[in-house]
Amino acid sequence: MKIWANLGVEDIERTQKFYKRLGFILNGTSTNEIVSFLFGEDEFVIHFFKKEKLKESFEGEIADLNNSNEVMFTLSAKSKEEVTVLIERIIKAGGYIRFDPRKDKKKFYDDNGYYVCVFQDLDGHLFNLFCNLNR
């Protein structure tokens, strides 16, 4: 059995450009209703559906990410340097850094030695990006 995520987006082409710029691998061929990417070494799949198409499957409303959160995915990096590189890619691709570990070192090192960044993509989906500095 496998598990994957389905998220709603406004613009498939814009979403595809964003995640490609971050270095994630395209999963199959995109259409005007879906683009899919593989995340991490385990190749976790996230399908990004045009919101109208996803809404049909939900048979209900999709979360308004301006007023709430649906889920936060966590991406682990191998080093502080890898986190920094990804932060720069996110900014250049148009994403928003909510918590930047480069700006407030006390706040972004937790008691377990994790270097933490939180960002949102172009549609407001949240990602936690971190590395363990104790490794």
Residues 6+ apart with CB under 8 A from 70: 7, 63, 125
What are the helix (H) ranges across the chain? Answer: 12-21, 51-58, 80-93
Q: Is the same domain home to 80 and 128?
A: yes
- Same domain as 111, residue 84: yes
Task: Give 31's contacts (C-beta < 8 A, 6+ positions apart).
Answer: 12
Which CATH number is 76's domain given?
A: 3.10.180.10
The model's pLDDT over 33-53, given as tens digits with 9 standing for 90+, comes to: 999 999 999 999 999 999 999
97 against 104, higher pLDDT? 97
CATH number of the domain residue 39 falls in: 3.30.720.120
Q: What is the DSSP string of 51-66?
A: HHHHHHHHTSPPP-TT
122 plus 76 within the same structural domain? yes
Judge if pTM exceeds 0.85: yes
Query: What is the count of structural domains for the chain?
Result: 2
Are residues 36 and 85 located together in one domain of the fold? no
Question: What's the confidence (pLDDT) of residue 105?
Answer: 64
Structural domain span for residue 38: 5-58
Please check whether residues 84 and 53 belong to one and the same domain. Answer: no
* pLDDT of 108 strictly over 60: no
- Residue 92 belongs to a domain: yes
pLDDT band at 68 (very low <50, low <70, confident <90, very high): confident
Residues 6+ apart with CB under 8 A from 88: none
Are 87 and 127 within one domain?
yes
